[in-house]
Amino acid sequence: MGQYVGAIDQGTTGSRFVIVDEHGAFVSIAHKEHEQILPKPGWVEHSPSEILKNTLDVISEALDAAGMQASDLAGVGITNQRETTVIWDRRSGEAVSNAIVWQDTRTADFARSLAGTFGADAFRQKTGLPPATYFSGPKIRWILDQHPGLGQRAIDGELAFGTIDSWLAWHVTGRHVTDVTNASRTMLMDLGSLSWDQELCDAIGVPMSMLPEILPSIGDFGPCRGVLEGTRLTTILGDQHAALVGQAAFGVGDTKVTYGTGVFLLSNTGAEIVHSNSGLLTTVGYQFAGEPATYALEGSVAIAGAGVQWLRDNMGIISSAEEIESLASSVPDNGDVYFVPAFSGLFAPHWRDDARGVLVGLTRYSNKGHLARAVLEATAFQAKDVVDAMVADTGIDLAELRVDGGMVANTLLMGFQADILGIDVVVPSITDTTVLGAAFGAGIEAGVWSGVEDVPHLRQEAVRYRPTMDAGVRDRYLRGWSKAIDRSLNWIEP
Ligand SMILES: Nc1ncnc2c1ncn2[C@@H]1O[C@H](COP(=O)(O)OP(=O)(O)OP(=O)(O)O)[C@@H](O)[C@H]1O
Ligand SMILES: [Mg+2]
């Protein structure tokens, strides 16, 4: 029998377990969606117990389907939606409330007050992040403040905080751990020392006793138990960082853009911590045990595929995500309609929590085809904005863009993306790079592959989209987009 590794991909919309063989082929996959709990405008929650149960279920399902046992896996990796915040009771292992999801905007006032008191640059310098609703620290404080007595219990050491990776690792290994990539999204970790920072914790009001141990992403997290008894946890990587590894973006300047729930550009900056002047974040790319961390610049866009899901679930205009392509193709162009999906405010490069979604340019002529087109085009415009920011920061023009994620199946979107960027857009043969990255990490640590040079060569080009749009037309689109962004700002009043 060959060698196998497992990867848990716990995402914003669902949980997956994938078994990968030594050639990098997917042998077995199981998937389950979980509920999006939307109690108020701008609020997004998940049930930690549902996520845990679904994760354990898909592990069992995928193992059963392959006729395998956990002990057949050389190692297992976790990759996860980042920043989403869980607090649980150390004794019972039960969460004290729903998880507050990364897209949730309820901490806007608090984030603004942090910027006011300490200055946005204080956080940027140490953590690579501006104070924003996106990150975990303010979400921790919010949960502690909402439930009487929790603050004291946290100080007394009775409560544990974790992002989703920690929550799952706690239950599969019994250890309270996280990795450097997930920790770099909390506003609590010093990027240089890769450790929790007392000043940051004091500023946000998070007792350090709640925090997990920070470990390298690709390393030994210990033996598993329960459904994974017989194997070891050998990787934890935030989903976007796993995609960087899955695209084998190990060289300085290697850049990928993932199109899923949101759009996330990551560009490898090597051992150097590069601070952005253009609204990008600085984050840990990944870290192998015993080696220094590799850093990255990141352009995070909250809503991309989630806008497609919104058309499907909230508006009922399409019945599946794929259907958006035929609907959008029913019209020759956007009919001058623009959509800014600022559902969670705007992340990179704007960082405006006062923005909300707008649909502009409507006339009697507009129809649902134009709306579908505007939703798709918004994804391409947002990606263009973060690519421009990256080029401004690094001074290096991109020759082509390496893309992945669920939305790259959409040929209309990818063609428009190439047109709007004016460079080739390259889709690899395996677009599921998140789960692949977690599997590669897990397999390298477990000895299935001897190092990054040895991982199966999967960076195979499947499709290349070349720009064909005339520059004048492109400029007109970009002017329309820029006006639409202006219209989305200043909606929420402080
Ligand atoms: N053909 C398509 N056209 C447009 N959007 C699509 C298409 N197929 C899938 N999507 C969108 O892509 C997203 C799913 O992609 P993917 O699984 O990569 O997302 P993700 O961000 O990893 O999700 P999660 O956070 O749950 O892991 C969904 O938001 C879906 O609406
Ligand atoms: Mg995902």
Which pLDDT band, with edges at 50, 70 and 90, does 494 fall under? confident
What confidence tens digit (pLDDT) does each residue in 51-91 have?
999 999 999 999 999 999 999 999 999 999 999 999 999 99
Contact, 296 vs 284, CB < 8 A? yes
Q: Give the list of residues 6+ apart from residue 473 with CB closer than 8 angstroms, or none.
A: none
Residue 289 forms part of a structural domain: no
Peptide bond into 349 cis (omega under 30): yes
106 vs 124: CA distance, rounded Å: 21
Residue 188 forms part of a structural domain: yes
What confidence tens digit (pLDDT) does each residue in 390-435 have?
999 988 888 899 999 999 999 999 999 999 999 999 998 888 899 9
Say what the pLDDT of residue 148 is. Answer: 85
Residue 268 forms part of a structural domain: no
- Ligand 1: residue whose CA is nearest its atom 30: 305
Cβ density class 349-388: b for 16+ within 10 Å, e for less? bbbbbbbbbbbbbeeeebeebbbbbbbbbbbbbbbbbbbb
Q: Please tell me the number of the ligand nearest to residue 13's CA.
A: 1
Query: E strands along 191-280, which residues?
Result: 195-196, 213-215, 233-238, 255-259, 263-270
Residue 47 forms part of a structural domain: yes
Token pair, residue 147, equals 């439930």
359 vs 374: CA distance, rounded Å: 8
Say what the pLDDT of residue 457 is. Answer: 65
Residue 484 forms part of a structural domain: no
Q: Which atom of ligand 1 is nearest to the CA of 259?
A: 18
CATH number for 232:
3.30.420.40
The arithmetic mean of pLDDT across residues 287-299, rounded, is 97
Residue 117 forms part of a structural domain: yes
The arithmetic mean of pLDDT across residues 370-399, rounded, is 94
Element (H, E) at 383: helix 368-394
What confidence tens digit (pLDDT) does each residue in 222-270 have?
999 999 999 999 999 999 999 999 988 898 988 999 999 999 999 999 9
Task: Tell me, using a 6 A CB cutoff, whether residue 407 lines ligand 1.
Answer: yes
Task: Tell me, using a 6 A CB cutoff, whether residue 103 lines ligand 1.
Answer: no
53 vs 395: CA distance, rounded Å: 46
Say what the pLDDT of residue 302 is. Answer: 92
Greatest alpha-carbon span in the chain: 64
Domain count, the chain: 1
Q: Using CB atoms within 10 A of its CB, is residue 160 exposed (0-12), middle (13-18) or buried (19+)?
A: buried
112 vs 349: CA distance, rounded Å: 17
Q: Which atom of ligand 1 is nearest to the CA of 258?
A: 18
Residue 127 forms part of a structural domain: yes
Which pLDDT band, with edges at 50, 70 and 90, does 459 fall under? low
Residue 352 forms part of a structural domain: no
Residue 187 domain boundaries: 4-249
